[in-house]
Amino acid sequence: MPKKECPHCDGTGWRPVEIGSVRRVTRCDCEIEDRSGQLILLARIPRRYEHCAFENFDVRKDRLSGQANRYLELAKLYAHRFVEEYPNDFGLLFIGPTGAGKTHLAVAVLRELILRKGVPCLFYDFRDLLKTIQDSWNAVSQTSESQVLQRVLTTEVLLLDELAALNPSDWVKETLAHIVNTRYNQKLVTLITTTLPFAEASEDSDVRTPAGEAVPEVERTLNQYGVTLRSRLYEMCKVIEIQSDDYRKAIKQASWRFHNDL
């Protein structure tokens, strides 16, 4: 709803403009602001991420070298460009360790799409979504399930946060496949963040491709949902891999071993 007392449009939401000698009307700013406010509410961005923007995204300069983390710089650049060029026919898949800033960037994309381009967006933590769907099964009425799912399936841009992948059950796999395939067929944009389990990286080296090469972490994480779904995600999203300096240090640290056990 436009503002009733707006001096530019007298509360109609449309203000007159003159292009050359032709009088036209255009959407008033009060209406645009109002729409952004509505879209922000509808997007369900959790409070702890409300402030997330490109301007306050920390590319974490290394204390010794003073160099910004190039993974984070690149991730920010891609995310920013994604907003600039929207509408796009692909989404973004942010992959990285916990605390790397994946959700921050993904939420920044949502907020910019809403505030600058008026795009309807929706945020869902993957586990919360599964729980909501499951809970609604126990309820007498199934309306909440269909309402929740309906929005997940049809909102123009969906952010699925924390696509956790620890031995997902068949039901979880099927639910995710349903969401992803429906959105893919409708040409809707999906943003996903997923965490790489990093401790097992070197331990689990018995996983090999048929050619005998070690399977990269990203592949292995997504393979838990099945090869078909993994291919589909690659098809519909640009993969943005983030490694933080801390992450690299941790990996390095894990490779130091005493010669003799303590």
Positions in the binding site for Zn ion (CB under 5 A) = 6, 8-9, 28, 30
Nearer to Zn ion, 5 or 18 (CB): 5
| Distance, CA of 14 to CA of 2 (rounded, Å) | 9
Contact 30, 3 (CB under 8 A): yes
| Distance, CA of 131 to CA of 46 (rounded, Å) | 16
Q: How far is the CB of 11 from Zn ion (least distance, A)?
A: 7
Nearer to Zn ion, 30 or 72 (CB): 30
Which SS3 state, helix, strand or coil, does residue 254 take?
Answer: helix
What number of helices (H) and strands (E) belong to the chain? 9, 7
Q: How far is the CB of 12 from Zn ion (least distance, A)?
A: 7
Nearer to Zn ion, 29 or 241 (CB): 29
Tell me the pairing of strands 22-27 and 14-19.
antiparallel
Q: How far is the CB of 117 from Zn ion (least distance, A)?
A: 20
Q: How far is the CB of 33 from Zn ion (least distance, A)?
A: 9
Nearer to Zn ion, 6 or 153 (CB): 6
Nearer to Zn ion, 26 or 150 (CB): 26
Q: How far is the CB of 8 from Zn ion (least distance, A)?
A: 5
Contact 193, 162 (CB under 8 A): yes
Contact 100, 245 (CB under 8 A): no
